Structure 1
Amino acid sequence: MSTDCTICSNLVSTVQTTSISETSATITWNDFGTTASWQISVRPFSATTSVWNTVSQASYQATGLLSNTYYRVRIRPNCTTPSSQIKEFVFATSGNYCGGMPFYDTGGATGSYTNNEAFTRTITPNVANKKITATFTQFSVESDYDYLFIYDGPNDSYPEMNFGNGFTGTVSPGTITSTAPDGSLTFKFESDFTETDLGWTATIGCVNMLGVDSNDYIDFTYYPNPTTHHVVLKANTTFTKIEVYNVAGQKLFSQTLDALETNVNLSQFAAGTYFFKVQFGDKEKNFKILKL
């Protein structure tokens, strides 16, 4: 094991999870110490034991995960005497959002969430031209101490659905529908150090984007998704323009064309989620691509 961390202080910070799919996720972090390697554990939230893996760079590819499941990430410096200081982070794998997916707190369908939780989960449609809707059928968190914030977009810089106050107590959010360009909703939950409750039960689904109906149907395909390089687009109606945006809404690519088939090269893009806006004359379609 490494011998360069004599005191073995855990100076890990800024843990992030990207490229989240139903079965995998990329985890990265910063370390302000002199640690040359780390031990990391990725386990289901309800699991009671940790399996540690040693890595020599501040990143880890978690694979073999379960769909729509919360996971605990635990990181510590790899020292001769393992540090008792463990940095912990919570994330959830994606799921079939447009297929009526159940959405719970970390306690699942029948359990309670735990103290000192803080996690953010962004849900984006997995079907083109859709927007996310969340229908809550049960909601109960510690009033005025624990909060669920719901943002109308892909991160917490977008408008909060309860005017910045979040949802607390037993007043249910009801049905929340995204109005963001990418159709996403972001959920941020925070609990304090005392008292827990049953949390929430909800169903995630998808509805049509405004103006998209059966009379606006266009037959087109795009693949592969996820991708490491190119995205191929084919249609029975002429493509006239393609634009690509990152999760912050910045336009990274724009192409005007007149073709039934084209491809977009993402090989120079960083790993992450990108949003495609495709125009067919006066009609527009939107979808997301995961770049590995």
Structure 2
Amino acid sequence: MKKITLLVAAMFFAFAANAQLVEVVEDFESGAFPAGWSSVVNTGDCDVSFGADMPTGPSFPSSAVYFDDDACGNGMDPSNVTIYSDVYDLSSSDGVVTVGYDVAFQEVAAGDTFLAEVNAGDGWETLALYDVDLAEILTESFDGTATNEDFQVRWTFDDAGEWAWHGAIDNFNLTYTNVLGVSDDAVEGFSFAPNPAQDVLNLNAQTNIERATIVNVLGQTVIDAEINATSSTLDISSLAAGTYILKVAVGDETGTYHIIKE
């Protein structure tokens, strides 16, 4: 069952931007994967199951998705199975993202693991590695940055070639903020680079750049620089990662541009 909550906060920039907080919540109450979710059997013959009762250790209060290596059986081929979330487009977000889920894991000291990873634009990166028994259902929450179109989370159970127990997840949640209604209003002859940027933004124009202002998604001015030159640089190293609006006054024109701070 999917729940998407949209909390709309109107932001009154001079160019009328809106920000929309998006919360995606997935559970497994139907006893099946939600739309867009899947599992892949990398090695072995067994796949995931759905239910609240775990083979050993703490159980969930409601249905979860889990891999049960115990039920797979002793003497079977090594098991390595991955659960994939849906793919989420964060290209219109402000870059700030929170991922959470409930997790259960029990091992038999044979090297079995349950690995959580995220694709936030730079390939798969580790969120958490579970390799010891969890005494209770653990609620996890991770904050990070991402603006990629193919944001995704995955969990891989690996029994290390031995008869093992299980790994399970439930109550997945993803929270991010979309920046809406802001379109670039370009000034002819003006350019800036790089975008995305980490430390410095280079500004160039054919005529005099009078002022450059950077505004965050709350409408707050975070940089306000008097330029009075045809080229300049802005130091953005102190800004938090995310999406901002660059406003430039060039001659008698004003331009607005999306910029992404990494």
Q: TM-score, with normalisation over the residues of structure 2?
A: 0.43
Greater relative CO, 1 or 2 (CA 8 Å, sep 6+) = 2
Larger Rg: 2
Q: TM-score, with normalisation over the residues of structure 1?
A: 0.39
> By percentage of residues, which structure has more strand?
2
